[in-house]
Amino acid sequence: MPRYALKIEYEGGPFNGWQRQAEGQLTVQGAVEAALAKLEPGPHTIAAAGRTDAGVHALGQVAHCDMAKAWDPFRLAGAINAHLRPLPVSVVACAAVAEDFHARFSAHERRYLFRLVSRRAPVTHDRGLVWQVGHPLDLAAMQSGAAHLIGLHDFTSFRSSMCQSASPVKTLDEISIAELEYPEGTEYRFSLRARSFLHNQVRSIVGTLERVGAGSWHPSQVAEALAAKSRSACGPVCPPQGLYLTGVGYPQDPFA
């Protein structure tokens, strides 16, 4: 059966996460599979590079699907999008791939962005798309705290108790924080890159660094929390609406 890679973007607010759930629960996977069933009747199962939680967004999620007949990738993307309307999800690129390509297992890198806004007035245009706090944050302190997390570590303190990963040991290749000043407030953009992430790892890291930026934690306490290997040592898990899956890396880019 011909296999296709799909690059998908979506706003996570209306969805109960990526993964298909019980009937009546709107999910991104369920919506895309329903669209595929309109093109080729019958059950469809797609696999994604990452299972985002409810409220989490994507700019570069990657999934693959198998079709009964050969499709022109451009036409397949357009046909899927036609059946996804008016849901806030779309296929932005489609490519024919080898039968052994797997959106999850072939990936060697995931990239996430978290948007945190500091301002007193409630956000309007970015409502549901950022995490907002009403107090100022110290960028240098957050960067100092983040430095303790780069590299190979046991991230037990920074993962959900429901995480299904076989091991808490992961290598965080990059974590950078950029500050964008606006007349109405300040936005902090956390960029993280790793081969794979634990459940709630990014949100746990950002929630902890926010406490550092607010002055409630010293940057060195991030290292202490990491060394504790205990969920209770971590800072709060921040809300999902500021988190974006921005890209997935493969040995050979299927969309190049």
- Domain assignment of residue 255, yes or no: no
- What is the reported pLDDT for 49? 97
Q: Which residue range is the domain that position 93 belongs to?
A: 3-106
- Domain assignment of residue 20, yes or no: yes
Instruction: Write the CATH number for 69.
Output: 3.30.70.580
For residues 177 and 77, membership in a common domain is answered with no
- What is the reported pLDDT for 90? 98
| Phi (first) and psi of residue 29, to 5 degrees | -60, -45
Could you give the residue numbers annotated as active site? 53
How does residue 190 score in pLDDT terms, banded at 50, 70 and 90? very high
Instruction: Write the CATH number for 130.
Output: 3.30.70.660
- What is the reported pLDDT for 124? 94
DSSP the chain: --EEEEEEEE-STTSS-SS--STT---HHHHHHHHHHHHS-S----EES--PPTT-EEEEEEEEEE-SS---HHHHHHHHHHHHTTSSEEEEEEEEE-TT--TTTT--EEEEEEEEEE-SSPPSTTTTTSEEESS---HHHHHHHHHTTSEEEE-GGGS-TT---S-SEEEEEEEEEEEEEETTEEEEEEEEEES---TTHHHHHHHHHHHHHTTSS-THHHHHHHHHT-GGGS-PPPPGGGEEEEEEE-SS-TT-
For residues 116 and 192, membership in a common domain is answered with yes
Tell me the pLDDT of the chain averaged across its residues.
96
* pLDDT reading at 106 higher than 90: yes
- What is the reported pLDDT for 172? 98
Which of these three, 91, 106, 121, is where a domain ends? 106
For residues 60 and 89, membership in a common domain is answered with yes
Which of these three, 106, 130, 150, is where a domain ends? 106
For residues 166 and 194, membership in a common domain is answered with yes
* Count: domains in the chain: 2
For residues 101 and 168, membership in a common domain is answered with no
Average pLDDT over residues 168-182: 96
For residues 117 and 243, membership in a common domain is answered with yes
For residues 215 and 152, membership in a common domain is answered with yes
Cβ neighbours around 153 below 10 Å, total: 19
For residues 172 and 232, membership in a common domain is answered with yes
Mind listing the pLDDT tens digit for each residue in 6-51? 999 999 999 999 998 877 799 999 999 999 999 999 899 999 999 9
Torsion angle of C-alpha atoms 197, 203, 208, 214, degrees rounded to 10: 140
For residues 134 and 229, membership in a common domain is answered with yes
- Domain assignment of residue 254, yes or no: no
- Domain assignment of residue 204, yes or no: yes
For residues 53 and 23, membership in a common domain is answered with yes
Which of these three, 58, 89, 106, is where a domain ends? 106
For residues 187 and 205, membership in a common domain is answered with yes
* pLDDT reading at 202 higher than 80: yes
* pLDDT reading at 165 higher than 90: no
- Domain assignment of residue 256, yes or no: no
Amino acid symbol at 17: G
- Domain assignment of residue 252, yes or no: no
Mind listing the pLDDT tens digit for each residue in 48-74? 999 999 999 999 999 999 999 999 999
For residues 117 and 180, membership in a common domain is answered with yes
* pLDDT reading at 130 higher than 90: yes
How does residue 163 score in pLDDT terms, banded at 50, 70 and 90? confident
- What is the reported pLDDT for 164? 78
* pLDDT reading at 93 higher than 90: yes
- What is the reported pLDDT for 236? 95
